[in-house]
């Protein structure tokens, strides 16, 4: 029996779990571990920093510091705090009491151009674990990371800080999160869980950690690097699919046809073994995941490469997809300029209302929102810009209003950037009145309005992929 196996058997089943990073991933994960009868106690580790120290008391009173609707989370937190199965602490020395520690810390990119991620927060977390690591403990990285990080940077820091050896004295694995805001608990319980250890013993120990919290999901074991590539490529593929339909939308605009007719046609080919997952074009791709995971995968190829890559003299398809999706806010700007020009208005002296600051419809999450580069282009061009969003209340250096009338008052153009439910009932006459314009402009980046209703009311309409309408006669 290898050394690690016997250490784990000596330690027995996992009973105490530490979760580092009280955010969108760490909080629901800790609550579900704590709610499982398999485990005795869960500690949530949170630095008592000026920006996020407030979370400690909030969590210890059973309240969620997460913004926005998260079905079931508040009740579950109340329950596990009352039962003393969950506690949040800034005391990292208690890590040494744990059987397993998971790290759910953000891994943004400093600058995608040179493929350099900002791992500073993750490194600090791993170093904390290394300082208190005991033989027989399991360490799991849940953050989305560059392939090669678990067997590379993470292993090195843990061994350096602890003097212990991964795969001999402690178990090490990667089990990437697959959650979406608005359904965090459900995603953790129902999505299959990718679990990849640096060796089979580590993989099995990590399976023992995650299996108890899964309801519909099943565990899919593999190597740590395969798990890292699985996570980064599933988001890269989604980004690629979105780029494919965004490119199609741009083609349809140039060809004078409706991308949604084409989309319905393409999606109609069904049957034996045929899956046509054609997604939706739009004003851009935001969020904390699709905007960076391609670069994690590309960087992973550089650091985890074990053989020469045999690839044609072509740019990476994945990076090209990123560039196409990053172009969409600029395309929205071009559509706005074109529309205003149709009524002899210049962007420089125009008032523009942006509807929807969140990166996702019906959410308050505005991380890497595509509306921001669009707004920057408008302001650089001298336009006056107002922003409306029913869910996003605060955003650095951007004033966001929940008062539609105030935002639309006297505007020349209304530009839809997020598909929030309420925007599907935008009413042309009401908008026209509020704008006070005979020919207001509407640019629809999420296909929320019926073009003819606005065109008939005298609007200048532009829509992503609506080549069949974008050249309409102004009535
Ligand atoms: N978007 C489109 N067209 C579409 C779908 C999305 O333009 O057809 C845009 C959205 O408007 C948004 C962006 O893409 O701006 C991202 O949307 P998303 O639905 O992918 O939301 P994320 O980024 O929160 O969630 C993704 C999901 N990944 C996959 O489905 C492969 C989620 O399952 C992951 O858990 C999450 O990334 C993550 O945390 O990695």
Is 79 designated active site?
A: no
Helix ranges (DSSP H) in 83-154? 120-132
Choosing from 175, 191, 242, 362 the residue with most ligand 1 atoms within 8 A of its CB, the one to mutate for a pocket test is 242
Tokens of 96: 């040494």
Q: Is the pLDDT of residue 273 over 70?
A: no
| CA 177 – ligand 1 centroid, Å | 13
C-beta of residue 292 within 8 angstroms of C-beta of residue 112: yes
**Interval 430-441: pLDDT, tens:** 999 999 999 999
Q: What pLDDT score was predicted for residue 307?
A: 80
Give me ligand 1 centre to Cα 291, in Å: 9
Residue 193 exposure: Cα atoms within 13 Å on the Cβ side: 30
Q: Does residue 294 line the site of ligand 1, with CB under 6 A? A: no
117 near 110, Cβ under 8 Å?
yes
Question: What span, in angstroms and rounded, lies between the C-alpha atoms of 35 and 33?
Answer: 5
Percentage above 70 pLDDT, the chain: 99
Whether the CB of 248 sits within 6 Å of ligand 1: no
Burial class (CB in 10 A: 0-12, 13-18, 19+), 96: middle
DSSP string covering 251-265, please? HHHHHT-BHHHHHHH
- Whole-number Å distance between alpha carbons of 136 and 167: 10
Q: Which of these, 262, 263, 282, 252, lies nearest to 467 by C-alpha position?
A: 252
**Ligand 1 contact via 326 beta carbon (within 6 Å):** no
- Give mean pLDDT, residues 126-149: 97
Q: What are the domain boundaries of the chain?
A: 3-217, 223-475
CB distance 26 to ligand 1 below 6 Å: no
User: Under CATH, to which class is 3-217 assigned?
Assistant: alpha beta
Whether 133 shows a pLDDT value over 70: the answer reads yes
From the CB of 242, is ligand 1 less than 6 Å away? yes
The mean pLDDT value of the chain amounts to 95
Regarding the beta carbon of 445 and ligand 1, being less than 6 Å apart is answered no
At residue 274, the pLDDT reads 63
pLDDT digit string, tens, across residues 15-53: 999 999 999 999 999 999 999 999 999 999 999 998 899
* CA diameter of the chain: 81
Burial zone of 13 (CB within 10 Å; 0-12 exposed, 13-18 middle, 19+ buried): exposed
Active site residue: 41, 85, 231, 469, which one?
231
The answer to which of 194-203, 266-275, 327-336, 366-375 has the lowest mean pLDDT is 266-275
Q: 461 φ, ψ to 5°?
A: -105, 140
The domains spanning 3-217 and 223-475 adopt the same CATH topology: yes
Q: Residue 272: which pLDDT band, with cuts at 50, 70 and 90?
A: low
Q: How confident is the model at residue 268 (pLDDT cuts 50, 70, 90)?
A: confident
Local confidence band at 304 (pLDDT 50, 70, 90 cut-offs): confident
H-helix or E-strand containing 172?
strand 171-174
Please say if 289 is a catalytic residue.
yes
For 358-403, how does the pLDDT look when each residue is reduced to its tens digit (9 = 90+)? Answer: 999 999 899 999 999 999 999 999 999 999 999 999 999 999 999 9
Domain with residues 223-475, CATH architecture:
3-Layer(aba) Sandwich (3.40)
pLDDT for 67: 73
């Amino acid at each position: 029996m290898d050394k690690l196996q016997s250490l784990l058997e000596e330690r027995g089943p996992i009973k105490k779990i530490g979760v580092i990073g009280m955010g969108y991933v760490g909080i629901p994960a800790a609550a579900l571990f704590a709610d499982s009868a398999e485990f005795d106690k869960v500690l949530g580790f949170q630095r008592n920093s000026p920006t996020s120290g407030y979370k400690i008391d909030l969590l210890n009173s059973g309240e969620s510091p997460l913004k926005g609707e998260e079905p079931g989370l508040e009740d579950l937190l109340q329950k596990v705090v009352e039962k003393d199965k969950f506690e949040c602490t800034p005391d990292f020395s208690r890590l040494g009491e744990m059987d397993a520690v998971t790290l759910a810390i953000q891994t943004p990119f400093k600058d995608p151009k040179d493929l350099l991620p900002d791992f500073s927060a993750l490194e600090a977390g791993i170093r904390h674990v290394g300082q208190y690591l005991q033989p027989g403990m399991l360490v799991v990285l849940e953050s989305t990371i560059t392939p090669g990080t678990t067997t590379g940077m993470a292993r090195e820091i843990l061994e350096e800080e602890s003097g212990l050896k991964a795969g001999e004295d402690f178990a090490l694995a990667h089990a990437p999160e697959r959650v979406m805001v608005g359904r965090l608990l459900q995603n953790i319980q129902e999505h299959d869980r990718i679990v990849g250890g640096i060796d089979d013993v580590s993989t099995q120990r990590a399976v023992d950690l995650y299996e108890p919290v899964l309801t519909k999901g099943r565990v899919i074991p593999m190597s740590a690097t395969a798990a890292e590539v699985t996570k980064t490529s599933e988001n890269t593929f989604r980004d690629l699919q979105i780029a494919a339909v965004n490119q199609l939308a741009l083609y349809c605009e140039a060809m004078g046809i409706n991308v949604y007719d084409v989309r319905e046609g393409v999606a109609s080919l069904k049957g034996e073994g045929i899956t046509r997952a054609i997604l939706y074009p739009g004003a851009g791709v935001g969020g904390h995941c699709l905007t960076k995971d391609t670069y994690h995968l590309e960087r992973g190829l550089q650091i985890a490469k074990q053989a020469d890559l045999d690839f044609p003299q072509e740019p990476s398809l994945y990076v090209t997809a990123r560039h196409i999706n990053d172009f969409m806010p600029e395309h929205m700007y071009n559509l706005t300029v074109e529309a205003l020009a149709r009524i002899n208005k210049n962007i420089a002296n125009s008032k523009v209302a942006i509807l929807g600051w969140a990166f996702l419809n019906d959410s308050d999450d505005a991380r890497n929102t595509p509306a921001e580069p669009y707004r920057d282009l408008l302001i650089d061009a001298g336009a006056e810009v107002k922003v409306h969003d029913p869910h996003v209340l605060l955003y650095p250096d951007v004033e966001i209003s929940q008062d539609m009338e105030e935002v639309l008052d006297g505007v020349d153009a209304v530009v839809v950037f997020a598909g929030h439910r309420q925007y599907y009932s935008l009413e042309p006459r009401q908008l026209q009145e509020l704008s006070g314009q005979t020919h207001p402009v509407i640019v629809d980046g999420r296909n929320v309005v019926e073009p003819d209703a606005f065109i008939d009311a005298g609007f200048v309409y532009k829509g992503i992929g609506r080549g069949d309408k974008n050249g309409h006669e102004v009535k």
